[in-house]
Structure 1
């Protein structure tokens, strides 16, 4: 089976220290038992297995997928995607499609026509692209024809292999960027869009789940060959030592959230550490490692510890209804919870602050309760809804609600009031330095 559900990947290995123990007779007995088990059990299991899907069923699933996106995806006005053309491009491929593996690839390609990293499937293949930003360690954009590294994820393969902001990627696995990116560019656009090229570049640099990446880079007249996956395919199985990293820096408290804003079990530990830091003169909340986003329950629980009265923190908007052309929008409120932390607060964000992490940033800004410091965030579009195809059971998610700062600014367009350019910050700094953290400390010092 070559399909790996995204949420259930595991690695298996022999138990350490186990020695071979079979004698020849025991091996023969095992063979005999295996044959008996196959005779008694396997026919029943085979009878219970579902038959392969027919082409008509794949066609029905594709139509469900295409119509669901057409009806519910809320960012078409911001895209150059011609969704009718997407149907014309991919529907004929179903005539020769007869495996789930091939169907997954067709859906991946069709969904990529939206060039929206917040849209995705619930399953993947070993040669599927890694998720952006969760499964990536570098952020790059085109400046003219140059693929410029804008940010590097701390402590991951790209940084360890020497990649720094400002470098230019010239080739990926031996193929020039301009050639290699063609596989990842949408085919169903009404006209060219720079955002689609940047999406393709991120897909290219993310790599897949089985092929080690090799990048050729140029910087300040020198060249670098980087191998971000040289130590293994670590982006497939990211592990953190703890959900919350907590420390005191003089009179300032520091809490870093390690990609668990989706876990309601975070609320109690967060309350505990915030209470322990209650005597500090200021607090830094580090959201720079929250690429997978989270849920509003956790977000509201966190914000509620810093406010004294109920207030709006973000605005939602659903697309106009086709017949009435009536837009539906509303403000979401957050209320106080527990003992309020009243000292000054700084929130750190960056390219790996995603979705609900971005919601927390704009929420704290809207509440006037924190100074947000950092660079652009992941800029993931809106709130996603999940759907399931009726025959194959494959799930997919797309943004259905647009999300805004309470001042009307789209969440994906938010720029921290205290902006730090990652490239400028990296100049003259070693990999261990943290200009954003230092800026936060300076701000809190000035607010005493």
Structure 2
């Protein structure tokens, strides 16, 4: 009977929601020493490898004090995940993240967002809305002022999302906190109170369902011919190697067009350089550099600066007609790399708005005991002309339509490619 009771107690422990911090993989409970070892590894790895401390207001030593003091009180997986989330948020870097989350964790920015806002003259203003998602469907438009988020005034809603170690809260920290607040978490439906034309409106982007929790696409890409101009839109698939064959066959089918539009405005999850170089390689006839990498950790350790140029090689059947690349806030990471690459190659006109401005290239690490993974930028990335990738803006900036009825960037790119001088 005693054995049965012990077994039932053990089974109940496994089934309890938010079981102890190691329960992510149902391994035996971590000891306080193991949790501390994980936190120490987490903090030290970031301290030695994160490559953007110089542009942050983060006091990383203070982060160790603040969150290290909380480790002894950790008794559940949820508590440990939240502690790590909060510590990582001190970097206010949306290219850094954990590979695990909780039901009330914030959605990823920009992958899990459908609205982008920034402060203009002190007011939080919508600057872009993601086409086809809840925010657009309920009428949110560029130019609207965000007044409250889930009935909480914006200034108050931002407070939990601003780091505790910051020497000062700079514009970058406020902007990311604003967009994290607008993204919401994985389980709470959003209610946005906005001001438009002097009137307040209540919008519910997650009704009747939270579309951002179930993002689906009809295919890796979509294409069509607009008069004599070809159009290819990448559906957030730059990390899928199957895109290479799909892109090749699509481009071949559009070989007779007088110009091409490559739409990268929905590539928020980034991708890999194999796919990126495969795409760019179809538009050149000789090898050229497209991106510069810098490795600050090596310089910190040895005092020797290391940087490399990444080369893209031509591939068969190059498309040599004029090319326009469309970008926006949901052009992210590798999408940004392709964009600066085409600009460096002198092969395309870049049109649209600011991109996601993600920092550098990430590397993945794993905690030794809980086995939680995390990613941080470890390489700085640059245009071949030396400009940081995150600072690049389109050659031709196109403001979005505030009424949401016209794709102004697409219309402008078509006009450019159809102009007599371009034929």
TM-score class, shorter: over 0.9
Superposed, 1:372-391 pairs within 5 Å as 372-391=350-369
1:181 aligns with 2:158: yes
Alpha-carbon separation, structure 2, partners of 1:279 and 1:401: 40
SS at match of 1:147: strand
| Shift in CA distance, 415/49, structure 1 to aligned 2, threshold 3 Å | closer
Determine the C-alpha separation between the residues in 1 that align with 2:407 and 2:120: 26
State yes or no: 1:358 paired with 2:367.
Answer: no
Q: 1:326 Cα shift?
A: 2.2
Question: Is 2:242 aligned against 1:269?
Answer: no
**TM-score normalised according to structure 2 size:** 0.93
Secondary structure of 1:359 counterpart:
helix
For 2:70, what is the secondary structure of its paired residue? Answer: helix
Question: Per the alignment, in what secondary structure is the counterpart of residue 393 of structure 2?
Answer: coil
- Map 1:141-152; keep pairs closer than 5 Å: 141-152=118-129
1:24-423, aligned counterparts within 5 Å?
50-319=27-296, 321-422=299-400
Q: What residue in structure 1 maps to residue 22 of structure 2?
A: none
How far the C-alpha of 1:323 sits from its partner, in A, is 4.7
Answer with 1 or 2: which has the greater Rg: 1
- Asked whether the 8 Å contact 1:54–1:98 carries over to 2, the reply is no
SS in 1 for 2:265: coil
Secondary structure, in 3 states, of the residue corresponding to 1:123? Answer: coil
CA contact (8 A) 2:399 2:408 kept: no
Are the aligned partners of 1:247 and 1:255 in contact in 2 as well (CA < 8 Å)? yes
Distance 1:191 1:213 in 2: 29
DSSP-derived class of the 1:385 partner: strand
Quote the residue 2:415 is aligned against.
442
Find the residue that maps to 2:69 and give its secondary structure: helix
1:352-396 Cα shifts (integer Å, max 9, x gaps) = 000000000000000000101000000010000000000000000
CA shift for structure 1 position 193: 1.0
Change (3 A) 1:115 1:252: same
Which secondary structure does the structure 1 equivalent of 2:300 belong to?
coil
Q: Distance in 1 between matches of 2:151 and 2:187?
A: 17
2:21 counterpart residue number: none
Q: Following TM superposition, where does structure 1 have runs of at least 4 consecutive aligned residues deviating by more than 6 angstroms?
A: none
The worse-fitting range, judged by mean Cα deviation, of 237-246 and 396-405 is 237-246
For residue 113 of structure 2, give the secondary structure of its aligned residue in structure 1.
coil
Aligned partners of 2:250 and 2:136: how far apart in 1?
30
Alpha-carbon deviations, 1:193-224, whole Å to 9, x = none? 11111111111111000000001000221221
Shift of 1:281: 0.5
Whether the 8 Å CA contact 2:276–2:338 is kept in 1: the answer is yes
Partner of 1:23: none
DSSP 3-state at the match of 2:294: strand
Instruction: Measure, in 2, the Cα distance between the counterparts of 1:141 and 1:74.
Output: 25
Q: Using the alignment, how far apart are the partners of 2:302 and 2:182 within structure 1?
A: 43
Distance in 1 between the 2:261 and 2:300 partners?
Answer: 45
Structure 1 residue runs of 5 or longer lacking an equivalent are 1-34
Instruction: Describe how 1:418-433 pairs up with structure 2 within 5 A.
Output: 418-422=396-400, 426-427=401-402, 430-433=403-406
SS in 1 for 2:390: helix
What SS does the aligned partner of 1:306 have? Answer: coil
Q: Which deviations, in whole Å up to 9, do the C-alpha atoms of 1:164-204 show, x marking residues without a partner?
A: 11111010111111111111111101223111111111111
SS at match of 1:62: helix
Q: Name the TM-score, length of structure 1 as normaliser.
A: 0.87
1:237 CA drift (Å)? 1.4
Q: Which runs of no fewer than 5 residues in structure 2 stay unpaired?
A: 16-24
Q: Deviations over 1:66-107 (max 9, x none)?
A: 000000000001111110011111001112111111000000
RMSD: 1.8
Supply the distance in 2 between the matched residues of 1:389 and 1:282 (Cα, whole angstroms).
Answer: 49
- In 2, the alpha carbon distance for the partners of 1:202 and 1:409 equals 25
Q: How big is the shift at 1:145?
A: 3.0
